[in-house]
Amino acid sequence: MSKKQTVKVMVEGGAASAGPPLGPALGPLGVNTGKVVAEINKITESFKGMKIPVEVIVDPATKEFELVVGSPPTSALILKAIGLEKGGGKDTAGDIGLDQIIEIAKNKQSSLLAKTLKAAVKEVVGVCQSLKVNIQGLTPKEMTAAINEGTLDAYIKGETKELPKLVHKEVKLEIQAEFAPKEKKPKAEAAAEAQPADAKAGADKKPAADKKPAAEDKKGKK
């Protein structure tokens, strides 16, 4: 029984060819390269313009093969969803819908460390941070906060189609700080601050020593 051999290559979605790197790797195995290429392009057609990891497992004895097609990097899927070639930089690159984030998370969950769909969504949102891509009008940090609060749990699970109202957390915090109650000061300190400026100035001066009338001073000397 012959041992199966695996060829691992990176191909462009929907555009694999019999040329390098695939053709030269499959040639010595005697497999029908044209058939392999056609099958790969059929499977990866939806990933046009992106690099896809592909494994071709060949049985040299029968010349039969099977394919294991991976998925593009999460960053590539995000950029494709919003029609950009690259992200990052100083300014916001674009905005992606939460539905698109959830779909990407579902497609990538098997290759992510996340054990739940919610955790996978957070990982995809984390990639948006490095790409400078906002989600549903929120920054990645604001969206992560909303996910952590649990307000999006039912929506992520598909239990509801109504997207909860999302709040700009950073703006909300600024408003709270502006209208926050002022710190109460001790009564003595507050009373001192309430005195008129003249009263405060007088209170700061030390009382002068009592002077005896001149008449009493002369009387004492006699």
pLDDT tens column, 122-132 = 999 999 999 99
Structure tokens at 152: 């999006």
Domain(s) labelled CATH 1.10.10.250 in the chain stretch across 83-177
Instruction: For domain 83-177, give the CATH number.
Output: 1.10.10.250
Q: What is the CA radius of gyration of the chain?
A: 37
Does the CA dihedral 123-124-125-131 come out positive or negative? positive
Read off the pLDDT band of 51 (50, 70, 90).
Answer: confident
pLDDT tens digits along 74-89: 999 999 999 888 887 7
Give bridge partners of residue 134 from the DSSP assignment. 95
pLDDT at 183: 47
Domain(s) labelled CATH 3.30.1550.10 in the chain stretch across 5-69
On the question of pLDDT at 186 being above 90, the answer is no
Question: CATH second-level architecture of 5-69?
Answer: 2-Layer Sandwich (3.30)
Measure the CA–CA gap between 163 and 178, rounded to whole angstroms: 29
On the question of pLDDT at 60 being above 80, the answer is yes
CB atoms within 10 A of CB 13: 23
Query: Which has the minimum average pLDDT: 72-81, 147-156, 203-212?
Result: 203-212
In this prediction the pTM is 0.61
Structure tokens at 194: 């309430």
Rounded (10°) CA dihedral 11, 17, 18, 21: -30
Measure the CA–CA gap between 48 and 36, rounded to whole angstroms: 17
Does the CA dihedral 79-83-87-90 come out positive or negative? negative
On the question of pLDDT at 118 being above 70, the answer is yes
